[in-house]
Structure 1
């Protein structure tokens, strides 16, 4: 990029993307794609032709609409008049995590679910030594539109006992495969949850409202996930200060916890974690990406619930590669963990 193009590009970012810096510590710097980026960012197999975004939701047949929780008022900062005036976005302020006296989802513990042993292969296998995830009991996957059409019953018998399914990112993007994957995974008997890819150029409150609008509040679902990582493919090039990152995350997580009655899980990768999350948010469960070493080496001292140990998994039921994950515990601990989520 030549220097003369910078002012125009910067102005366009301010007006169109809402990338107004709200902290003196915020900086805008070029990003290199992280080697630890989840496969929800980069396609690894043929995908449906459907586009992502509001237009997709509007063009879909009525039964495919994803606005299950009802309309969410359009935030004032994103109404046309506000955009024309280029009004800066308001700062979010962390609010106390409030779980209703009567949880949003009332459930009763169900029967124990069958656990299938893993039969996955790996296009780029790693020798984890004595700490191999292969020795752990409960494996699962995470998926998005990039996995295309999935044979969920076959995927389950290959060892996918749980699945995290991409639902939303930012404040207006929907994964066009979310509703189908959500339904089919349940029919196949998998425990499943939804995740949101966080976009640093939109307010946290808007993103929480968008997730709540499109992800049903359903008995038996796993806790919602906030996916926070650096993404060199994103149109948002902001890198915020640690304090600002934590502030935005807290706003988002508080809204989800109040709505779903479950504390969200934080998914992250080593580079983002080192810059923003080490030593922070100790009362939150973590899902850690570590595809070259055990999490204890990449995230010293951090407790975790899920470990994403491969981004190059291969399995019957899916064309191309798929992310592989494992639960931190044996089969009994998995069943007890599920029971606590349902009580």
Structure 2
């Protein structure tokens, strides 16, 4: 029997796809946006905005439960009644040599030094050793000034007025002169009022400007109320959210703190607020 050989049919080899694989297309980086973003976050204006927002938010948190109109200003290290928009200080030899440029540059929120009352004289013989310098340097940086005399009731009021005007040259744009009366000096209230009136009358006649009376709230209530109602008042009443004076009283300045810290002054200083807007303040100045 013949052997029949089977023909084996070989399968053709399967061809592999040798075409090169395509690389996955990656997302192109938006370099323009990245550069713009970096410019923003590295900008001082951006950080200023962020810090300001953070500071305002933190202040709001810290002020929760406090009188919103009597806020703490950390720069000045005191509370300041925020209903007022024109602020100032009063200075004498006690503050030493003052850098008025730094005083003027200091600001927190909207609070800055707009005016200063400067001690000039006291009684019949004392001239403040820093008066001339303060009177000269403060206006150079744009601070409106007024000069004050510390009144001594046991001394002649007319002579005190003459002594004051011998040392102070009051000019256009100044605040009115001030009589600082806060002690009786072993005199009677009647004698004090007589000498004070003589001082005020003489100064007004010579300068054509009605002086301001400075005193503290208790001295005013005890000895001055009802006697000098035609005069503008500057009242001292410390560490209170509001000045407890009758609204009809003619007060324009409130000395509300005696422990403020101000750049350029190496000692605590009195801080004051003006009752009125910028127009009222301008109307008060010497013309």
TM-score by length of 1: 0.57
Task: Indicate yes or no: 2:88 matched with 1:140.
Answer: yes
**2:219 corresponds to 1:266:** no
Where does the alignment leave 5 or more consecutive residues of structure 2 unmatched? 1-71, 107-111
> Does 329-338 or 160-169 show the bigger shift?
329-338
Give the C-alpha shift of residue 299 in structure 1.
Answer: 5.7
Cα separation, partners in 2 of 1:331 and 1:320, compared to 1, 3 Å: same
> Which of these residues, 170, 180, 187, is aligned with residue 123 of structure 2?
170
The CA distance in 2 between the partners of 1:214 and 1:318, in whole Å, is: 24
Pairing 1:286–2:233 present: yes
Q: C-alpha displacement at 1:134, in angstroms?
A: 2.4
Provide the C-alpha distance between the structure 1 equivalents of 2:74 and 2:165, rounded to a whole number of angstroms. 33
Q: Structure 2 vs 1, CA of residues 336 and 120 (structure 1 numbering), >3 Å: closer, same or farther?
A: farther
Question: Does residue 194 of the first structure (1) align with residue 147 of the second (2)?
Answer: yes
Cα root mean square deviation, aligned = 2.2
Give secondary structure in 2 for the equivalent of 1:160: strand
How many angstroms apart in 1 are the aligned matches of 2:209 and 2:124? 21
What does 1:1-343 correspond to in 2, within 5 Å? 121-123=75-77, 125-126=78-79, 133-158=81-106, 159-230=112-183, 237-241=185-189, 243-293=190-240, 296-298=243-245, 301-338=248-285, 341-342=286-287
CA distance in 1, matches of 2:263, 2:283: 29
* Secondary structure class of the residue paired with 1:263: coil
**Structure that is richer in strand per residue:** 2
Give the paired residue count. 211
Q: Which has the higher contact order (CA 8 A, sep 6+)?
A: 1
Contact 2:154/2:187 (<8 A) preserved: no
1:312, 1:323 within 8 Å by CA — same for their partners in 2?
A: yes
* Distance of aligned partners of 1:183 and 1:119 in 2 relative to their CA distance in 1, 3 Å threshold: farther
Q: Structure 1: any 5+ residue segments left out of the alignment?
A: 1-117, 127-131, 232-236
Q: Which has the larger radius of gyration?
A: 2
| Mapped partners of 2:221, 2:181: distance in 1 | 12
Asked if 2 retains the 8 angstrom alpha-carbon contact of 1:147 and 1:319, the reply is yes
The normalised TM-score by structure 2 is 0.68
By how many angstroms is 1:331 displaced?
2.7
Deviation of 1:244 after TM superposition, in Å, equals 2.0
Q: Is the 8 A contact 2:81 2:242 kept in 1?
A: no
